[in-house]
Structure 1
């Protein structure tokens, strides 16, 4: 994470990974080799950046070997929103404004959302 050199003040980051290139969101079989955060990567991001929203291009922000522990690192801060399952196929690397519009579901721990990127 440190090598990405995410500048202070950046609040939202969407990660387009090899998951997109491998089209893992479109496979019917589960593939445990998807790219996701390790516990250490999540901890570094929480402690060393101003990020409040992390978006990823697969069903989980955490890699298969760190499913619970990486999520707990993000949730411990109580300030970071996780957005999973993004379709980033046609989105070139760049700086965007991102707006996420969740459904308001009472009593739910998550919600389907529509994310809008504006260049």
Structure 2
């Protein structure tokens, strides 16, 4: 019997919500099935931050790893989903304490009853001290069901800088709408995109 599987990736489409100024998803056909052509071929353009994605350290610092250079280990393995629905602008330590015993190396936080389907700048982000608190408990990857670990208006990206300092990885724009709180196996591998500041992922959770 196959283990239960949760697809926690939103659809990548032209109307997918994204930060203002980011390149939206677009697809064009470069060849179509016809008497002289045996295949359909398409080409896409998009920011690597559209949909569920893994920020590379290069997104928030120079001279560090791109999406092609990060280790895959943080993106695959035991994971805990913690509910902090309605936590407000910042995910604080007190929102996570109820599920903090014996944390696995990966923690995803559900902030929303339903993930936004249009751009909304008033999303929940991680408080920098929460990132540090999780790292001190052995967590190597954090994630959430909003566009960023920092508020939309932040110019200092304090939580991203904590990720850099503590050598953590991050997944953003997940869809955790139907995922119960608990432990899973996470599979969310970034693509080997040379020089890219992030990579799309097809993120899934599998029952243990």
**TM-score interval, smaller chain:** 0.7 to 0.9
Indicate the residue corresponding to 1:41 in structure 2: 130
Using the alignment, how far apart are the partners of 2:103 and 2:180 within structure 1?
Answer: 22
- The 5 Å alignment of 1:13-92 reads 13-18=107-112, 21=113, 23-24=115-116, 26-27=117-118, 29-31=119-121, 33-46=122-135, 48-64=136-152, 68-78=157-167, 80-92=168-180
Unaligned runs of 5+ in 1: none
Which TM-score applies when normalising by structure 2? 0.49
Tell me the number of residue pairs that the alignment of Structure 1 and Structure 2 aligns. 112
Comparing both structures, which one devotes a greater share of its residues to strand? 2
Offset at residue 4 of structure 1 (A): 3.8
Indicate the residue corresponding to 2:190 in structure 1: 102
Which TM-score applies when normalising by structure 1? 0.80
CA contact (8 A) 2:144 2:172 kept: yes
CA contact (8 A) 2:126 2:150 kept: yes
**Higher RCO (CA-CA < 8 Å; seq separation 6+):** 2
Using the alignment, how far apart are the partners of 1:58 and 1:38 within structure 2?
Answer: 14
**In angstroms, what is the RMSD of aligned CA positions?**
2.0
Comparing both structures, which one devotes a greater share of its residues to helix? 1
Unaligned runs of 5+ in 2: 1-92
Offset at residue 92 of structure 1 (A): 1.3
Larger radius of gyration: 2
